[in-house]
Amino acid sequence: MKETGALTGETRSQKVILNIRRILIYIILILLTLLCLFPIWIMLVNMTRTNGNIQTSFSLWFGTNLANNWVNVFSRTNIKLQSAFLNSLLISTCSSLLACYFSALTAYAIQVYDFKGKNIVFTFILLIMMIPTQVSALGFVSMIKDMGALNTFWPLILPSVASPIVFFYIKQYLQATLPYEIIEAARVDGASEIRTFHQLVLPILTPALAVQFIFTFVGSWNNLFVPSLLITGDINKETLPIVISRFTDTSNPINFDLGQVYVVLALAIIPLVIMYLIFSKFIIKGMTSGAVKG
């Protein structure tokens, strides 16, 4: 009986320690969540305040100038915010679709087929990942200028066909999750390689493609460097980051208004939030499915 009582007391103490640890973990997670949400809250608050109030004081609660800031943002004649929003949406969506599809196709080919120079091709693609965009930007802009394709969307969309980072992630995902038996079974049944890829491999890749679609979309949506080099002098072709940079231009104090800046920033993150809410379950699955093989 004494031993039973001792074990019961030890079990209770272990439960108490476990509950305390859980409470501490939950408190830390809540604090981290609030810390991540704090900048978004400040952005939402500042979009309702005047430029003078934002520059002179700090506030955690909403102001009364949202309607005025909203009207001023869309009434600026030298900026086409609606066009910029749609342009960025078109470019980001097309770029993400092309990057995901062709990267998946390339990863499948290198993962499944054996051919001479396979490792060399794989290494070459990985080496491209190490080259910063800024290094090749000058030559790329010169080539686009010679082609007469400045102020068009194609130079911002088509290069996404070759996306080494997306390829590498999908290649690793295939290596961990793709059963070769279903590929061989499809071949025995007489299915073509392209049909096998579309009907068998793509469904397996859905979580990974969702993750990479989000990452590619966000990267293209926030891209300022390349569009600012290729889109010049045509306000109807400008993307959202270019428009935001013009709102934050402090060289003209008369037009600089932090209230308007926060309104534009809030509008810019809406598609990203919607995209995350749609693909969130795939993001979690995609991050974990490739961790364990089988």
Q: What's the pLDDT tens digit per position in 54-64? A: 888 888 888 88
Residue 283's pLDDT is what? 66
Q: What is the mean pLDDT of residues 94-98?
A: 94
Residue 290: pLDDT band (50, 70, 90) is very low
The two counts, helices (H) then strands (E), for the chain are 15, 0
Residue 252: pLDDT band (50, 70, 90) is low
| 98, HSE (Cβ side, Cα atoms, 13 Å) | 16
What's the mean pLDDT when you consider all of the chain?
84
Q: What's the pLDDT tens digit per position in 133-144? A: 778 888 888 888
Helix, strand, coil abundance in the chain, percent, nearest 5: 75, 0, 25
81-112 vs 240-247: helix axis angle to the nearest 10? Answer: 140
Rounded CA-CA distance 99/164 in Å is 9
Two tokens at 282? 């795939």
Cβ count within 10 A of residue 133? 11
Residue 291's pLDDT is what? 43
Residue 292's pLDDT is what? 43
Residue 122's pLDDT is what? 86
Cβ(153)–Cβ(91) below 8 Å: yes
Residue 7: pLDDT band (50, 70, 90) is low
Backbone phi, psi, residue 199, to 5° = -95, -25
| 72, HSE (Cβ side, Cα atoms, 13 Å) | 22
Domain boundaries of the chain, sorted by first residue: 2-69, 78-289
Q: What is the mean pLDDT of residues 209-238?
A: 88
Handedness of CA 216, 219, 222, 223 (dihedral sign): negative
Residue 97's pLDDT is what? 93
Q: What's the pLDDT tens digit per position in 103-144? A: 999 999 888 888 888 888 888 888 888 888 778 888 888 888
Q: Which is the CATH superfamily of the domain at 78-289?
A: MetI-like (1.10.3720.10)
E strands, the chain, in order: none
Q: What is the mean pLDDT of residues 168-182?
A: 86
What does pTM read for this prediction? 0.83
